[in-house]
Amino acid sequence: MPLEPGTPGEPARAPRVLIVEDEPAMAAALRDGFRYEGFSVLVASDGAAGLRLAQQSEIDLVVLDVMLPKLSGLEICRQLRAAKSGVPILMLSARGQEADKVEGLEIGADDYVTKPFGFAELMARAQALLRRARRPAEPETCSFGDVVVDFRRLRATRAGLPLELSQREFAILAFLVARRGEVVTREQLLQVVWGYDSLPLTRTVDMHIAKLRRKIERTPVEPEFIVTVHRGGYRFAG
């Protein structure tokens, strides 16, 4: 399966944006702009339709005007968050509506731009929200087998006894755990754990994985948590 670089495990598809905006000229300009940037676009011209579409369709981003007929942008935001929707929301607030802006962020909008704005700025903020949403959350803790790992404090135990892991081993484990079930390549691990500047061999990754397995696996030669994927890399199966 072809994968886009930088978005491991995610099939390439056009991101889908929902634009909720009642001014026809603004809605059309946003629609054309997002389409030009490769998005698939849904447009709603009032708040009620916007909320309905946001709840029913698979949306990657909502661009939400505050002042809307039927249901305000703030109310839409509130209802989406009350329904546990984590969809990124970018609010459009009019100049002079600073209170709306603050309230919007408080009730769960992710970012805002003030009208009038340049499309390039809006797009940069939209892309930043998409990148943030796509990145798997860093795990805080995890447990598998008799191992318990606290990534925040960089502490681990095995069967209740302290388990010595190096900082690099914590980083490898955190990266794998955040992508539980997905194939992680050696190159990805090199980039993230070792950094772009250093150029260690992919064999370095294998050596570190082998060492990590000796610490966390019940039978290191037959690993059940960090599984080798032939020609692929590794997969966390804990």
Residues 14/188, Cβ–Cβ less than 8 Å: no
User: Which residue matches tokens 């490769």?
Assistant: 38
Return the range that interacts with Ca ion (CB under 5 A); candidates 19-27, 69-77, 103-111, 126-134.
19-27
Rounded least distance, CB 237 to Ca ion, Å: 49
Nearer to Ca ion, 70 or 155 (CB): 70
The set of long-range contacts for 196-204, using a CB threshold of 8 Å and a minimum separation of 24, is none
Rounded least distance, CB 196 to Ca ion, Å: 43
Q: What is the DSSP letter of 1?
A: -
Nearer to Ca ion, 93 or 188 (CB): 93
- Check residue 100 for interaction with Ca ion (CB under 5 A): no
- Check residue 22 for interaction with Ca ion (CB under 5 A): yes
Return the range that interacts with Ca ion (CB under 5 A); candidates 33-41, 42-50, 57-65, 125-133.
57-65
**Residue 13: what are its φ and ψ, rounded to 5°?**
-150, 155
Nearer to Ca ion, 47 or 223 (CB): 47
User: Residue 8: which residues within 8 A CB-CB, separation 6 or more?
Assistant: 179, 182, 183, 184, 185, 188
Rounded least distance, CB 51 to Ca ion, Å: 15
User: Residue 41: which residues within 8 A CB-CB, separation 6 or more?
Assistant: 16, 17, 19, 31, 34, 35
Residues 62/111, Cβ–Cβ less than 8 Å: no
Return the range that interacts with Ca ion (CB under 5 A); candidates 15-23, 48-56, 162-170, 216-224.
15-23
- Check residue 133 for interaction with Ca ion (CB under 5 A): no
- Check residue 217 for interaction with Ca ion (CB under 5 A): no
From the list 54, 49, 56, 55, the residue with the least C-alpha distance to 70 is 49
- Check residue 75 for interaction with Ca ion (CB under 5 A): no
- Check residue 67 for interaction with Ca ion (CB under 5 A): yes
Return the range that interacts with Ca ion (CB under 5 A); candidates 47-55, 63-71, 142-150, 171-179.
63-71
- Check residue 150 for interaction with Ca ion (CB under 5 A): no
Q: Which residues bind Ca ion (CB under 5 A)?
A: 22, 65, 67
